[in-house]
Amino acid sequence: MQWMIEIYRSAMFKKVVMAVTGLMLFGFVIGHVAGNLKIYQGKYVDGIHQGEYKLDVYAEGLRELGAPVLGHGQALWIARIGLLLAVALHIWSAYQLTLVNRRGRPQAYQKVTPQASTYASRTMRWGGVIILFFIVYHILHLTTGSVHQSFEAGQVFHNVVRGFSNPLVSGFYILANLALGLHLYHGIWSLFQSLGLNGQRFNDLRHKIAVAFALIISLTNISFPVAVLTGVVHL
Amino acid sequence: MVLDAKIPSGSIATVWDEHRFQMKLVNPANKRKFDIIIVGTGLAGASAAATMAELGYNVKAFCFQDSPRRAHSIAAQGGINAAKNYQNDGDSIYRLFYDTVKGGDYRSREANVYRLAEVSVNIIDQCAAQGVPFAREYGGLLDNRSFGGAQVSRTFYARGQTGQQLLLGAYQALARQIEAGKVTMYPRTEMLDVVNIDGHARGIVTRNLVDGKIETHAGDAVVLATGGYGNVFYLSTNAMGSNVTAAWRAYRRGAFFANPCYTQIHPTCIPVSGEYQSKLTLMSESLRNDGRIWVPEKAGDSRAPNQIPESERDYYLERKYPSFGNLVPRDVASRNAKEVCDQGRGVGPGGLGVYLDFADAIARLGKDTVSARYGNLFEMYEKITGEDPYEVPMRIYPAVHYTMGGLWVDYHLMTTVPGLYAIGEANFSDHGANRLGASALMQGLADGYFILPYTIGDYLAKRMGDKVTTEHPAFAKVQAEVEQRIASLLAINGNRTVDSFHRELGKIMWEHCGMARNKEGLEKAIQLIGDLRQQYWSDVRVLGQSGNVNQDLEKAGRVADFLELAELMCRDALHREESCGGHFRTEHQTPEGEAKRDDENFSYVGAWQHGDGKATLHKEDLDFEYVKLTQRSYK
Amino acid sequence: MDLKLHVWRQKDASDPGSMVEYQAKDVSPDMSFLEMLDVVNESLVQKGEEPIAFDHDCREGICGACGMMINGVAHGPQRGTTTCQLHMRHFNDGDVVYIEPWRSGAFPVLKDLMVDRGAFDRIIQAGGYISVNTGSAPDANEIPVPKQAADTAFEAAACIGCGACVAQCPNGAAQLFTSAKVSHLGLMPQGQPERWRRVRGMVAQMEEEAFGSCSNHLECEAVCPKEISVDFIARMNRDYIKATFKGDDS
C-alpha cells in the first residue's frame, strides 16, 4: 500500500487526477452542448410528441436512460454523482497544486515578463473559480429553478427562453462561457502534456484540437442567450 | 635530487599489464578503512572519485563551483581520441602513442603515453555504457572524425559538446556514489593548502565559500585534479574560476612543478574587443579546413575587408607553407598571426586579429554546405561579435588554451610528496611540450577511471593502520597559516582592485612569456612580475570579510598565487634554451622560422622545487626507445 | 551607452534583501552582460562598496553557473542564450534594467544574485545515472543505438543545469530539468534497465525539494538557453505514470 500513499502525496499524480477529471468534465460539456442544440429544432410537428418542444422531450428522455435495468432518473443521478465527484477531485487537486506552487515561488519577482504562457494558462485558477460559481448558479437557475423567476418543472425550453430574456442573466452566461472557453483551451492542451500523450507527428495537432474544441463549445453555448435576446429563438 | 619516475622495466606494450599484477592490492574489506581526498571534480577528479568509491574507498570530493557538473572540462568542444580503429583506417594503440609523443615534440614520457593510448579504448566503452550520447551512424554504431590534422579518424564526439557530455557521464557516476554514501561531496569549497605529516600528504585545509569557515580534512591520500593554470594570462579560454592555487600550494609544500613554461596557444579564438574583456572564446579548429586566413598587405590598412581587393591581401599561411597552408599546426598558425599583427597588419579593434574568410568556401560549396558544417560556430561568433560571418570575414586571434606543464608525477601519478597525487591537466605527464587536439579529455578520464584507482592502491597497501585525524597539531598549524594569509589580504586595504593586478600580470605574461619568448623579454618579465607582486601585497583592495560569500577574496588569493607562478614560468622558459612545442624561443629557430629543438641538451623534464630564496631545477631525462626523434617541417 | 540598474542586494541567506539602484556608465555594446557587471563591480570596489555577487564560470554558455532574471526574463531578452553570452548590443542607451536572482523555494538566495542550486544535484543523485562500475562496460559498439534515439537523447542531455527553467516558471517548477535527464537516459538502450526506477526516484526527489508543480505554461522552454523542448516533460509524465503502475518488478 506504500505505493498508493506515495502517489497520493505526489504532485505529479495530482496533475493526472486533474487531467483525468478534466477529461470527464470535458466529455460532459460536449454532451451537454450537443443536447442543447435541440433548442434550435423547435417542436415536433407530428408523432406522439406532436406539439412538444424537442428539447423538452430530449430532457425527459435523459431520465429514461438505462431503462429497463435502471429506474426513472437513476442513470441521471449516477451521472450527476460521477460529475460531482469529478468536480470535487478537480477542485481538490487544483487546491493542492496551488499550495505546492506557492511553495515553489515563495517570493515574487519585482518584475516579470511572461515569455510563452498565455492569458488562458495564467487565469486557470480564477477562471476555474468563475466557472464554479457559474455551475452553481446554472443548477439553481435551470435545474432546480430556485433563482428562476418563472420556472416550470419539465418545461426546459420555456425555462431557457424565459431565463435568457433577462439581459443580465444572459450577460453572465456569456461571460462564464468565455471563461469556460479559455479554461478549456489551456485545459485540453495541458491534459495531453500531463498524461504524456505526445509524439512527434501528433504534437502540433494538440494545440489545434484544443483551440477547435474551446471555440466550438464556448461559441455554441454563447449562441443560446444571443439567440433568445435577438429573438431568433422564442416561445 | 634524482627524479625517479619509477617506470617499470619491460616491453612498452606489456609493461602496464605486468605492472598492474606486480602492484600491491588493498584487500576489499580494508578499502573502506581508507579515506581519500579528491580536490577538483572535472573529468579527472569526478571519474577518480566515482571509481575509487565503487572500489570501496571512502572519498571526500571538493570543488569550488556550486556543483561538480560545472568543472571546466565541460567546455571542451572537439572530441576524445581512442585507438579503437572502428574505421578500419589503420589506427592502433601504437599509432596513437606514436602520434602523441611526436605531437608533444618529444618532451613526454614514452611509458606514460603508451599507457594512455592503451586505456583510451576502455574509456569509450565506459562512457558509452554510461549513456553518453556520442554521435552515431545510421546503423547505430559510433561515428568518428579526424581531428587536429590526424591521419586517421579516431575522434569520438557528441556534436560540439563532447566535454560536456563526458563530464556529465562522470558527474552522474559521482552522483551515484554520493547517493550510495561512499562519496561526501563538498561543493563551493576551495582547497587552500596541503597538510603533510612525516613527509606524507595527510590532508587539506579548505575554505567554505558560503560561510567562509576554514576547515581541515584528514585522509590517507590526497589527489589534486585541479586543472591547468592558463588564467595566469588573465585572458584565456579557461573558465573564470580556473586557478593554480591547489597545485601551487602543493608546490610550496614540496611537490615539484614540471615544465611550467609549456603553454598551448589556440589559433582560432574570438579576438579581444576592449579593455573590459574578461575571457576569450575558442572556436573549433575545424574552421581552418575551409576558411582562408589573411591580413591586408599594407600595414595600417583600415578599409573594410570587402573593400580590400584580392591583390592587396596577404594569405600569409598559404604563402609561407604551400603544402599545409591554413592547416599548419596550432603553434605555427598562432605565431604567424602574432607576427603579422606585430607588423601592424592586424585587423579589428587594437589591431589584434586576422581574417578567417569563408567567401571562397561559400562560392565553392554554397552557403548551405558551409552552414551545415559550421552553422553553430557561425552563430556563436555572431552572438559575441554581432557580425555575420556569411557576409563579413571572421576575425580570429590566438589565445591561451591549455597548459601542458603541471605538478611533476611519477608513473603512478604520485608527486614528489608521498601520498599526494596529481591527475588530469594538473599534472604534466602525457602531452610533452604540446597537446594534440582531443587528447585532454582522454588524459583526464584515463587518469581518473583507469590509472589512479590502481596505482593508489599500491601506496595505500603499505600504509594500513597509519591513521591521523585533524586533531594532529600539523593541521592546526597549517590552518593558522591559511587564516593568517586571508587576514593579511583583507588588511591591505590599498587602492587597486584585484582584477587590475591580474590584468596587468596577464599583459606581462602574454607579451613576454606567450607565443614567442626570448631571453631579454623573460628577464624583463621576471623583474616586472617581482615588482607587481610587491605592489600587490601593499596596494590591493579586498573589501568585505572572510565570514561569508566574498568573491573578491577568493580571487585575491588566486591572483596572489598566479603572481608567484608567473615568475616560475618565466624562469623555466628562460632556462630552456631551445624551442619545442608550445615553447618558442626566438633565439632558437631554423632559418625558415621553425621551432628548433635541442635534443642533445634539453631532452628532459624540468621539475622545479620550491625554495625560500629561489626555486631549484631537477631534471628527469627522457629516453626514447620506440619513437624516432625528427624535426617538424610544414613547408 | 548609460544604463540604470536595479539590482537585488542581499547580504546573506538570512538578510531580507532589497533592490538597489546603480548607474552603469559608458557601457560598450560589445561587452557581455557579465562584463558590464564586472565594470560596475570594479567601480563599486573603488568607492569602497562591496561588489555584487553572482555565479559565473566558463563565460561561454556551457557550464551553467551564471544566470539572473534580467527585466523579468531568465537570462535576459535573447532566446537560446545564457547571461554570459548576452551582449550589451541588445540594450539601448538610457534603458532601465532590473536584475534579480533566480527565485524558487528550492533555490535559496546565498548572496545578492547567487542562489543554491544543490536541489538539482540531489535530483540527479536520486537516479539520474546508469549504474555501471568502471571497467565493467562491454565494447562500445556492442550495443547499437539508433541514430534518431542518440540525437534526441543528445538534445535532452544538452541541459546545462542553470536553473533558468525553474526561475522563469510561475510555479518555480523543475519539470524541464528533471525530464531532460529522465529522457536522455530513458532514450538510450543502456538506460533501459533502470528506466522505471529512475523516473520514480527522480520525480520523488524533485517533489521533496521545494519546487512547484507544472502547469504547462511553457515558460521554461522559452528561456532555456539550450532550447530544450517541453516534449520531454510529456515523455517524463508518461514514463512516470507507467512506472507508478508497473511497480518494482520492472
Cβ of B274 within 8 Å of Cβ of C31? The answer is yes
Share of chain B above pLDDT 70, in %: 99
Residue B625 to residue B601: CA distance in whole angstroms: 18
Q: How many CB pairs under 8 A join B and C?
A: 218
Cβ contacts of B65 on chain C, cutoff 8 Å:
57, 63, 65
Domain span including residue A114: 2-229
Angle among Cα B322, B327, B332 to the nearest 5 degrees reads 85
Does C110 sit within 8 Å of B133, measured CB to CB? no
Give me the CATH number covering residue A130: 1.20.1300
Pick from B186, B597, B223: which is nearest to B407 by CA?
Answer: B223
The DSSP output letter for B583 is B
Q: Report yes or no: C104 and C91 within 8 Å, Cβ to Cβ.
A: no
Write down the pLDDT at residue B509. Answer: 98
How many Å apart are CA C66 and CA A183, to the nearest integer?
36
Query: CA nearest B82: which of B433, B330, B438, B430?
Result: B438
What's the distance, CA B279 to chain centroid?
16
How many whole angstroms separate alpha carbon B429 and alpha carbon B443? 9
Query: What are the beta bridge partners of residue B540?
Result: B496
> Average pLDDT over chain B, rounded to whole?
95
> Is A161 within a domain?
yes
pTM for the model: 0.96
> In whole angstroms, what is the distance from residue B550 CA to residue A211 CA?
52
Nearest to B47 by CA among B158, B224, B217, B173: B173
**What superfamily in CATH does domain C117-249 come from?**
Alpha-helical ferredoxin (1.10.1060.10)
The gap between the terminal CA atoms of chain B, to the nearest Å, is 42
Low-confidence ranges of chain A (pLDDT < 50): none
Question: Is there a contact between C134 and B133 if contact means CB atoms under 8 Å apart?
Answer: no
Nearest to B277 among C35, C51, C130 (CB): C35
Q: Any idea which architecture B265-400 has in CATH? A: Alpha-Beta Complex (3.90)
Asked if CATH classification 1.20.58.100 holds for the domain at B474-602, the reply, yes or no, is yes
Residue B376's pLDDT is 84
Confidence of residue B78 (pLDDT cuts 50, 70, 90): confident
Question: Which H/E stretch holds residue B478?
Answer: helix B473-492
Cell of B140: 547505430
Beta strand C18-24 pairing with C69-70: unpaired
Residues of B acting as catalytic residues:
330
Q: Which residues of C10-39 are buried (b: 16+ CB within 10 A; e: fewer)?
A: beebeeebeeeebebeebbebbbbbbbbbb
**What ranges do the domains of chain C cover?**
3-100, 117-249
* Identity of residue C1: M
CA C196/CA B34 separation, integer angstroms: 35
> In this structure, is residue A6 part of a structural domain?
yes
The confidence score (pLDDT) of residue B465 equals: 87
- The pLDDT of residue B185: 98
Report the share of chain A in percent with pLDDT over 90.
88
Whether A111 sits inside 8 A of C72 (CB atoms) is: yes
Q: Is the pLDDT of residue C250 over 60?
A: no
Q: Is omega for the bond preceding C101 within 30 degrees of 0, making it cis?
A: no
Whether residue B133 has pLDDT greater than 80:
yes
Evaluate whether residue A235 is within a structural domain: no
Nearest-neighbour CA in chain A from C135: distance (Å): 35
- In this complex, do B161 and C141 lie within 8 Å of one another by their Cβ atoms? no
Contacts of C30 in chain B (CB under 8 A): 273-274, 385-386
Q: Which residues pair with B294 in a beta bridge?
A: B355
Q: Is the pLDDT of residue B333 over 70?
A: yes
| Residue carrying C-alpha cell 589506427 | B91
DSSP A114: -
Chain C neighbours (≥3 Cβ pairs under 8 A) are: A, B
Strand partners, B214: B207
Number of structural domains in chain A: 1
Buried/exposed code over B345-379 (b: 16+ C-beta within 10 A; e: otherwise): bbbbeebbbbbbbbbebbeeeeeeebeebbeebbe
**Which pLDDT score, from 0 to 100, does residue B525 have?**
98
At residue C248 the predicted structure's pLDDT band, cuts being 50, 70 and 90, is: low
For residue B427, which phi and psi values (nearest 5 degrees)?
-95, 180
Subunits with 3+ C-beta pairs closer than 8 A to B: C
Nearest by CB to residue C234, choosing from A102, A122, A196, is A196
| Cβ <8 Å between B70 and C57 | yes
H-helix or E-strand containing B47? helix B43-55
Question: What is the dotted CATH code of the domain comprising C3-100?
Answer: 3.10.20.30
Of C34, C89, C43, give the one whose Cα is nearest residue C67: C34
Q: Where are the domains of chain B?
A: 265-400, 474-602
Tell me: the pLDDT tens digits for C51-103?
999 999 999 999 999 999 999 999 999 999 999 999 999 999 999 999 999 99
* Secondary structure (DSSP) of B192-230: EEEEEETTEEEEEEEEETTT--EEEEE-SEEEE-----G
What ipTM score was computed for the predicted complex, to two decimals?
0.98
